[in-house]
Amino acid sequence: MHLPKLKAWLLPIYLLAFTGSAVSFLSPVFNTTTRWIVLAGVVTYLLLNRQLAQPLRTRFGLLTLVFVLWAFITGLWSALPLLSYLKAFSFLLISFGGMAIGQAWVRLNLPQDGLKYLEPLTIVTLLAGLLGQTTGQGNSDITGTFGFQGMTDNPNMFGSLLAMCAPFLAWQTYCNWENKKKRVLWLLLSGVDLYYLLASVSRASILVTLCTMLGLFLALGQSRKVIIFVLAGALIGSVLLIAPQQVEQISNRFIYKGQTAEEGITYSRNEVWQESYDLAVKGGLVGGGYGVTIGINNFDVGLTTVGYGREKGNSQLAIVEETGLVGLAIYLISLVFLFRHLGRVVFKLPRGPHKILLGIVTGTLVGMLVHSMLEAWWVASASPESAYFWVLAGVAHALTKDKRSMGVLPAPESRRRDVQRYSV
């Protein structure tokens, strides 16, 4: 059975279903209830078209299934078995549904449209910033630092959405670089995204975007790397000479977030991390049960677990608390297979658009891994970050298998020799 309309609406709506609840003007439509309806529709569609099992053709997909099975097994000794089973089931659907829909997107679209599914999310996110600008939306964290949140729940969530848009904006800027009008447009949109990202003061999201840009940089040709390196060095050197006070202010705002060196850059997370570490120790070898917060045994069944548990602040510690060292080992091995595969393909690809695109995607996935060390979204399967990660992982794997020509890209004359047929 053919998937005729998948590239037009299914994946963008799927992603909005899991991110829209964080945006005030979308939450009446996309919320904690409708996201499950959309997920059910996507999973059903993939099943009918024999696409849902596609992730099992990769080692990362196979190990993700092993993790899911282990999550179900932890329900046997969980203090809240029903919660563990429900969360394990949702993790199964979201991880495999996300990877499968991401893989299908790449197969059914032109190579240059590999990230076009992020276009609606980008429009929504930038609009949330512009509308929030008029109402002065913002919030202060535990350090007292004010962060702009646009029309979202909080600055960190706004920052996450902006970081999710960065790969699409970077890719479009690259593709349209030789068209002056389009170059200005995409640079402007990228600048707006960066402006709001910095205004959010979300350090985790800034790190994601830096990883995206690093992936792009490493995939560039050697001559362009030298040029960028020299320009960046000259810019940083100039700032250090001309305005050293500004450097200190930037450091205080974005690194220390108003705290002293003695309090450290992790001041806002120290208490959360300490509690997560203590409970991870209690989790031991097999954990306290997937989705469970050790010591909290009251849970109301519903379409969301908001209100249950606590902020865990670190995905890896949360994995140990819930699934033990066994779960952590499965998780780490799966990531080794994922990034080893992507890294090998990126470095083997000849210089050109395909290498750039996969470099951007791989860099973003690395960034999301870094982000998960600062936010425990890995064990919150229905979170925006989780849905985004699994889709992008599917897109990445499909790109490594794409044997089509990248000659359809609007490459400039100077890159014409790079745009040729090649297979992975």
Q: Measuring CA to CA, which residue among 329, 337, 333, 327 is closest to residue 379?
A: 327
Q: What angle do CA 144, 275, 262 make, to 5 degrees?
A: 45
Is residue 321 within 8 Å of residue 276, measured between CB atoms?
yes
Distance from C-alpha of 113 to C-alpha of 108, rounded to nearest angstrom = 10
Query: Over the range 207-240, which residues count as b (16 or more CB within 10 Å of their CB) and which as e?
Result: bbbebbbbbbbbbbeeeeeeeeeeeeeeeeeeee
Residue 306, pLDDT score: 66
As a dihedral over the C-alpha atoms of residue 79, residue 83, residue 88, residue 90, rounded to 10 degrees, the angle is -170
Domain-located, residue 176: no
Domain tally, the chain: 1
Tokens of 95: 């991880």
Domain contains 102: yes
Asked if residue 330 belongs to a domain, the reply is yes
Residues near 173 by beta carbon (within 8 Å), at least 6 away in sequence? 183, 186, 187, 190
Does any domain span residue 132?
no
121, 190, 201, 265 from 132: Cα distances, Å:
16, 18, 15, 28
Question: Is residue 143 in a domain?
Answer: no
Residue 284 gets the label, from left (phi > 0), alpha (psi -120 to 50) or beta, of left
Is 87 among the domain residues?
A: yes
Tokens of 30: 């996309």
Cα–Cα distance, 59 to 186 (Å, whole number): 36
Tokens of residue 127, six digits: 């609009």
In degrees, to the nearest 5, what angle opens at C-alpha 290 toward C-alphas 288 and 296? 55
- Global pTM value: 0.87
Q: Cα separation of 380 and 177, whole Å?
A: 38
Mean pLDDT for each 10-residue chunk of the chain (424 residues)? 60 94 91 92 92 94 97 94 93 96 90 91 95 64 70 91 96 91 93 92 92 89 60 55 57 59 64 89 93 82 65 91 96 96 92 92 96 91 94 95 53 40 31
**Domain assignment of residue 336, given as a range:** 6-112+218-418
Within-domain flag for 362: yes
- Does a structural domain hold residue 178? no
> What pLDDT, on a 0 to 100 scale, did the predictor assign at position 416?
40
